[in-house]
Structure 1
Amino acid sequence: MPNFVLEITSASTQENDEEDKPQKYAFLGVQEYFQYDPTGDYLKPQLKGSRLVQGKYQSLTPNFLPDGVLSIHSEVLGLDLRLINGELRFFDPQTGEKLLSHKETEQARQQAEQARRDAIPKLLDLGLNVEQIASALNLPIDEVTRLMSER
């Protein structure tokens, strides 16, 4: 069973998310139950969290950061869930760094691959061979060869 559940609520699921599901999750021993309303039409505030205490969910009090951002800490995840301009984001409470979304992660991966592609001809011009380039870019030799063939 999961220890953390995040429900995305809407008009069609709100009643079930607020009444039936918490009872079921509590019975199953889910430690934290969060709800998020991306449109802001059904939940006030848009993000709510609760923690299981002696078989019943107790609401978690949100913190409001100096910039007005709502933040709720998840002990289970070890992360802060923050509502920034209506968008739910996850933060590392130790560093304050925002975790990248799937889209942001994919963009960063593509940018890193493009940077490697761009570096290969420059390293070749400096006289490095394929093995040295692979070592410099921390890539397998066959990956460097593949990237060289794509340029």
Structure 2
Amino acid sequence: MQRAPSSWVIDPDDPRAPPQDLWDRMTPDERQRVLDTLPSEFEVSEASPPEGDFHFNPKAAAKETLGGYFQRIGRRVYLACELPVYYPAERMFAPDLIAVLDVQVKERSVWSVSAEGKGVDLALEVLWSGSSKKDLEDNVTRYAALGIPEYFVFDRRRRRLRGFRLAAGSARYQPIVPQEGRLTSAVLGLDLGLEGDRLRFFHGLAPLPETHELLTRLGAMVGDLEARIDETEQRLDEERQRLNQTEQRLDEERRRADEAEQRLAEALAELARLKRERG
């Protein structure tokens, strides 16, 4: 790992990006060295172990579902799960899911607000067995202070969904009021809702299909296509058989016509012969 510029020392136990004024004074090489030095991976703490599939699957499904949707409509939205986010001079954090609008969609090791020139537009946390205080109190205060426009918390165990949005000109969140059981995200232009213990995204009344649903639909479409191909090939075989039978009948008719023509010619020749003999 490269050393950061001497003007900014990164504490491995509390890594932070430089304050914005210091970043602005750095050369491009110094900035790159800072980015190369900011940690993107951290050792798992035994006091805070991973939460397993119940925690991982919802955020992975959300990332894949939203990624597929925005790709289909041609909207550039960067999505990442547990990516280290560095605001200037702020303690690093890594939400379960972040969304940033209208930026280049590519792989990143960290999200540096100073380097990207843009902060996070939406954060989503999945709560399973961790601390509800962290997600429903601490993060509500912190994310609002950082200016993240929207924040959602999906409590899978309790089957609850909460949303928060910055009020205009304020550094405090206001709860997003559910409409017919769903929360509207102005950032995504979508609604969020629950189906049992599953988090779903909706465009209008239609839920966005998840990857396994798309694969099921694709499999059904392929099956239908293969069935139609088989039916078409069967009809073609039947048409070929009928064509062959028709050609065989035509050949038989031609053979009979040739035989009749030959007999007629023979009869005419015999008639001519008899006329000559009589004459």
Distance 2:137 2:163 in 1: 14
Q: Secondary structure at the match of 1:81?
A: strand
1:62 maps to 2:178: yes
**Residue number in structure 2 paired with 1:133:** none
Q: Which blocks of at least 5 consecutive residues in structure 1 are unaligned? A: 129-151
Over alpha carbons, which structure has the higher Rg? 2
**Residue number in structure 1 paired with 2:229:** 120
Structure with greater strand share of residues: 1
Partner amino acid, structure 2, of 1:78: G
Distance 1:113 1:21 in 2: 45
**Residue number in structure 2 paired with 1:75:** 186
Aligned pair count reads 117
Structure with greater helix share of residues: 2
**Residue number in structure 1 paired with 2:87:** none
Q: Name the stretch that deviates more: 51-60 or 24-33.
A: 24-33
Distance 1:50 1:73 in 2: 10
**Residue number in structure 2 paired with 1:16:** 134
Partner amino acid, structure 1, of 2:215: E
Deviation of 1:39 (Å) = 1.4
* TM-score, normalisation: structure 1: 0.66
Deviation of 1:60 (Å) = 0.9
In the TM superposition, 1:2-151 aligns within 5 A as 2-40=120-158, 46-53=160-167, 54-63=170-179, 65=180, 70-93=181-204, 96-127=205-236
Deviation of 1:88 (Å) = 2.2
Q: State the superposition RMSD in angstroms.
A: 2.3
Q: Secondary structure at the match of 2:120?
A: coil
Deviation of 1:121 (Å) = 1.7
Deviation of 1:27 (Å) = 4.0
Partner amino acid, structure 2, of 1:59: P
Contact 2:151/2:164 (<8 A) preserved: yes
Structure 1 residues 113 and 39 mapped into 2: Cα distance closer, same or farther (>3 Å)? Answer: same
